[in-house]
Homo-oligomer: A and B are copies of this chain.
Amino acid sequence: MEYQIEIRVVPRRGILDPQGKAVHGALTNLGFPGVGEVHVGRLIRMDLEAGSAEEANERAVAMCRQLLANPVTEDYDVQVLAHAESAR
């Protein structure tokens, strides 16, 4: 069956995140109060045909390793949603 996969890739903790820094600055300049740490990452949404949720998850993790995330600078996590509740 077809699953919807959502992959979230974010700069690894402790590593400089210039984009997050810039967004933080911009939001503060716009006068938004209470803004703490900001980090900007990537969101990948994908329809994936797989035999089971486990299989879909394994494949997505392999994709992150091989292509979607940089092992040196980024962390990622994978969510598998049954297609019904797909957001998009």
Contacts and interface: CB of A to CB of B under 8 A. Distances in A.
B2 A63 contact: no
A35 B46 CA distance: 7
A43 B8 contact: yes
A75 B34 CA distance: 24
A38 B45 contact: yes
A53 interface: no
Nearest to A34: B49
A87 interface: yes
Nearest to A41: B43
Contact of A26 (B23, B59, B67): B67
A42 to B, nearest CB: 6
